[in-house]
Amino acid sequence: MRLGILGGTFNPPHIGHLVCAQEALVQLELDRVVFVPTGRAPHREIEDDAGGEARYEMCEAAIDGDEHFEASRIELEREGPSYTSETLRALREAGPDDELFLLLGGDQAAALAGWHQPEQVLELATLAVVERVGYTRNTIAIQLARLKGAERVRYIDMPLMQVSSTSVRRRLAAGRPIRYLVPERVVDYIGSHGLYGTSTPAPAA
C-alpha cells in the first residue's frame, strides 16, 4: 500500500489540511492518507491546545465520509515527545510492505535537519513537500542538501490557501465566522464542546 502520513497538531483541522491530503492522494497515487495528531510536540507547547483526544476527534469529523482518509492515535498513545522518526518506524513495523510518504509544508521540510533523527525520517519515508511562501524548492533543497536521502524528495502542487489553525482560533476568539474555512462537522464539534473560548455553538455565517 502507498500510504501518506500527514502529521500536525490539527488544532483545529481546516480545509488546507484536506486539500493537501487530496492533492497528495492524486499526485502521488496513494491508496490512503493517515492524519496523525501530535501527542506531545517535541520543541514547543501546543498553543491553545484543545487536548489530544479533541484534536483526534476533530480529525475524525473532518474526514468523515472519505474512504481514502483515516485518523490515527499512534502519537497520542505513545509516551514522551512525538518524534516523527518513531512514528514512521512504528508504521513500518505495522505494515512492512507499505511505501510511506511523509507530507510536509515547505517550512517544515526546510527545518528537517534540526529534527530528531532526520536521516532516519528520510530513510523510512519519501518526503512529499508542499511549497509555501518563502520556501521554494531551491530553498528547501539547500537546507536538506547535507542529509542522506534528500535526493528522493518529491513535491506536491497545491492551490495557495491562506488559512491556518492559528487564524481559525483567532477568528473564533474575535467572534468571527469560520464556516468554509473549517469542515462543517468540525465547526459543530468546536461549538458543542465550547473549544477555543466559544461558549455557544461556533457561528456558521
Q: Stretch 148-173: mean pLDDT, rounded?
A: 94
Whole-structure pTM value? 0.94
Share of the chain above pLDDT 70, in %: 97
Res. 199 pLDDT band, cuts 50 70 90: low
Compute the mean pLDDT over every residue in the chain, rounded to the nearest whole number: 94
- Does residue 205 carry a pLDDT above 90? no
- The fold of the 2-160 domain, in CATH, is Rossmann fold (3.40.50)
What gap in Å lies between CA 201 and CA 199, rounded to an integer?
7
Identify the DSSP state of 112: G
Q: Stretch 174-186: mean pLDDT, rounded?
A: 96
> Given this model, what pLDDT does residue 44 score?
80
**Cα dist from 7 to 94, 142, 145, 168, whole Å:** 17, 23, 23, 18
